[in-house]
Each structure stands twice: as C-alpha cells, then as structure tokens.
C-alpha cells in the first residue's frame, strides 16, 4: 500500500539536537496517560542515545515552519535478521487522523523490507486504547498474553515489575 504524505510537511532523520524538543511534547501528545509515573516512564523510554545512534531508521516530521508534527523511533533488529522494531511513535494532536502515523509506519515497513526484514514488532501499554486501535488498523496482530486489560491480551511485567505491555507483530 502506498500512502500520500499530507501536504505542507517535511520528513527527515532525527538529530541529537531534536532530543529535547521531542521530550518536551510527550506529556501533551500522550494526554498525560498514567499521570506522573507515565510521564517519567515515557521520558526514560526516549534516552538521548536513540537520537545519536538510531537515526537512519527513525524519522521526524515537521511543518514547513519547523513545528514538530510527528516522530518515529525504530531500528533493524541486531539479533534477528528477519525483524525490525518500532519503539516509539507520536503525532501531534492537531495533526491526527490525517494518515501521518500510517505514513510513518508504511515508510518504515518499506525500508525494513528493503533490508530483508519480514517482521515488524512493536509494543504498547494496555491502557493506550488509541495506540491499540492504530496498530490493529495497520494489520498488527496482538500476541496472546498472560493477562487481559479491558479484554486486550497483555504481558504482565513485560518491561519490568508493574510495566505490562501489549505485544504486536506484523509481516512487513
């Protein structure tokens, strides 16, 4: 499937000096999900090294005036030559439901496939209904989990004690 990038936006690889401005939008873009502990968790999920050493496989989207509209942090698996992993994605509230998140994912799928990666992996918090709807709309399947949150299979303690995750996989 080929998607059109919405008009008036530009896409590039992130740079180290984008780290702070991406961290600065997380609370607003995630709508304060899971309160103060969620905010802390999200900041720790985006350490600076991702903006130093994982940039060729990641993307940042800006409006023509430079306003940050979206980002995707992903990489080719170092362990499994058939896999790639999308770690974090965000789209500004004002730019949602216009296909930007789908465009970033499709773009990543294409680049992953060009490197021979047949599988795309991602995870999300079971509380993040929007993210679950987004991933399933793009064809991701949810792996069976040891528990369910609101009927969604989740893996308890997946990312550490008290940090359950929904685990997605999709053919690229």
Ligand X SMILES: CC(C)(COP(=O)(O)OP(=O)(O)OC[C@H]1O[C@@H](n2cnc3c(N)ncnc32)[C@H](O)[C@@H]1OP(=O)(O)O)[C@@H](O)C(=O)NCCC(=O)NCCS
Minimum separation from the CB atom of position 118 to ligand X (A): 22
What is the distance between the alpha carbons of residues 60 and 18, in angstroms, rounded to a whole number? 9
C-beta closer to ligand X: residue 40 or 116: 40
C-beta closer to ligand X: residue 29 or 85: 29
Strand partners, 62: 10, 68
In the complex, the residues that contact ligand X under the rule CB under 6 A are 29-30, 88-91, 96-102, 124, 128, 130-131, 133-134, 137
Minimum separation from the CB atom of position 95 to ligand X (A): 7
Minimum separation from the CB atom of position 116 to ligand X (A): 25
The C-alpha torsion from 78 through 83 and 87 to 88, rounded to 10°, is 140
C-beta closer to ligand X: residue 14 or 90: 90
Tokens for 30, please give them.
Answer: 């995630």
Minimum separation from the CB atom of position 8 to ligand X (A): 15
Minimum separation from the CB atom of position 16 to ligand X (A): 21
Exposure pattern of 130-165 as b/e (b: 16+ CB <10 Å)? ebbebbeebebebeebeeebeebebbeebeeeeebb
Could you tell me where the DSSP H helices lie in the chain?
19-29, 35-45, 49-53, 100-114, 129-137
Shortest-Cβ-distance residue relative to ligand X: 101
Answer yes or no: are the C-beta atoms of 38 and 90 closer than 8 Å: no
C-beta closer to ligand X: residue 67 or 116: 67
Residues whose CB is less than 8 angstroms from the CB of residue 63 and which lie 6 or more positions away in sequence, other chains included: 8, 9, 10, 69
């Amino acid at each position: 499937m080929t998607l059109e990038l919405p008009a008036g936006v530009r896409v590039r690889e992130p740079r180290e000096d984008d780290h702070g401005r991406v961290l600065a939008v997380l609370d607003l873009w995630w709508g304060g999900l899971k309160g103060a502990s969620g905010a802390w968790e999200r900041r720790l999920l985006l350490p600076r090294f991702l903006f130093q050493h994982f940039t060729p496989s990641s993307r940042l989207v800006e409006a023509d005036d430079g306003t940050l509209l979206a980002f995707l942090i992903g990489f080719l698996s170092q362990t499994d030559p058939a896999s790639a992993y999308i770690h974090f994605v965000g789209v500004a509230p004002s730019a949602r439901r216009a296909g930007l998140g789908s465009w970033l994912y499709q773009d990543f799928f294409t680049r992953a496939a060009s490197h021979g990666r047949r599988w795309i992996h991602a995870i999300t918090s079971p509380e993040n209904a929007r993210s679950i709807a987004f991933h399933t709309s793009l064809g991701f399947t949810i792996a069976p989990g040891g528990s369910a949150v609101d009927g969604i299979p989740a893996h308890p303690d997946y990312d550490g004690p008290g940090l359950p995750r929904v685990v997605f996989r999709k053919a690229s």
